[in-house]
Structure 1
């Protein structure tokens, strides 16, 4: 039995946000987090990119502390990369940052994450018939409308994160029917008109 994976998260600040806010960098980091260590060439093939582009952007991610060498792999000049953390959180102050460069980086980051979430959900919808019926019956695609002030929404978000963390810590990855499960949480205000 494997111990539950430690879920170390990186909190973005203005500098690290600018270092991550590029569509290919976000996809590279996601691939390393989801699929484990890889070389630039392997990532290029997985993401349908050139190995020159993946090499360059991996070095940029490393300069900002998102990825690092994996010394347990490779031989000779073969360079393996791994994610330095398994999650990313956004410091709340970034949403209010007045610097146009930070605001632009935040836009790129948020839109890329939204695109990834949409792609993952569409992949599930397109492949759900390939899964055992218990999986289809256990999934969720719900939405709710609440009337909350910002502090209550923050409280709800934090409680949901805490609940998810408890399931992460109690996970049994060796259970015979265990599979990777992705959860997306989107909570945002809407105008009522």
Structure 2
């Protein structure tokens, strides 16, 4: 299942598989409590911003996301209460409070969709739909700004879809192989033209075919 922005954007975004190796990012698997703490549009965006942009203050996040500092401050405290962010005191100056993400990504357990608690099922549904919304917005932003990038980067971008006939086991195998390939590109030595690159993965069955 997907990761928050990875998602995130994650991450994150990975299926619920074995524990990651030392080379892989630090990913937190959501349980019912942590899901309910994260499943909020602004919290998901704030966490993604900290994961991608590094430590920041509530005011900096508010400016970046077009929100009030009061809102970002409140939601940072909620994220901290659920173990998603923590203080980054080495960045602080005076009374400024800096925050950083605790993990590199988030892993979603599909069993949360079938939890006996309706609040947990509702949070799971909100989390996945918000993740899809973020992916759509990121893609739209790229399409709207693509001409401002070099031809090399435009050639290196992709918007594709594929249709295969697979069993559930084969589909999960494909997902794991894709993730292994993507993770093999982490920690490459930087070069002059290195940029942050986002990859979205959406794999799902279709009915009536």
What TM-score, normalized to structure 2?
A: 0.85
Shift of 1:23: 0.6
Corresponding residue number in structure 1 for 2:3: none
- C-alpha displacement at 1:6, in angstroms? 6.3
- Measured after TM superposition, the shift of residue 93 of structure 1 is 2.1
Which structure has more helix as a fraction of its residues?
Answer: 1
* 2:91 matches 1:106: no
Q: Counterpart in 2 of 1:45? A: 63
Matched, 1:62 2:62: no
In 2: Cα distance, 1:81 partner to 1:6 partner = 23
1:85 match: secondary structure: coil
- Which of 193, 198, 203 does residue 177 from structure 1 map onto? 193
In the alignment, structure 1 residue 133 sits paired with structure 2 residue 159: no
The gaps in structure 2 that reach 5 residues or longer are: 1-22
Distance 1:192 1:126 in 2: 34
Residues 24 and 183 of structure 2 are in contact (CA less than 8 Å); yes or no, is this contact kept in structure 1?
Answer: no
Once the 2 structures are TM-superposed, how far is the Cα of residue 95 of structure 1 from its aligned partner?
3.2
Structure 1 position 99, deviation (Å): 2.1
| CA distances 1:92-142 after superposition (whole Å, capped 9, x unpaired) | 322332321111001111111111101110111111111111111111111
In structure 2, what is the Cα distance between the partners aligned to 1:183 and 1:87? 14
Q: 2:94 matched to 1:76?
A: yes
Distance (Å, rounded) in 2 between the aligned partners of 1:48 and 1:62? 21
**What residue is the counterpart of 2:207 in the other structure?**
191
Look up the match of 2:165: 147
- Secondary structure at the aligned position of 2:153 is classed as helix
Contact 2:62/2:72, CA 8 A, preserved across alignment: yes
Distance 2:129 2:97 in 1: 30
Q: CA deviation at 1:158?
A: 0.8
Q: How far has the Cα of 1:149 moved from its partner?
A: 1.7
Tell me, in whole angstroms, the C-alpha distance in 1 between the residues paired with 2:71 and 2:204: 35
Instruction: Work out the CA distance in 2 between the residues paired with 1:178 and 1:95.
Output: 38
Which residue, out of 90, 96, 109, partners 1:91?
A: 109
Confirm or deny: 8 A CA contact 2:36 2:123 kept in the other structure: yes
Structure 1 ranges of 4+ moved more than 3 A: none
Aligned length: 187
Give the whole-Å Cα distance in 1 for the aligned partners of 2:147 and 2:161: 23
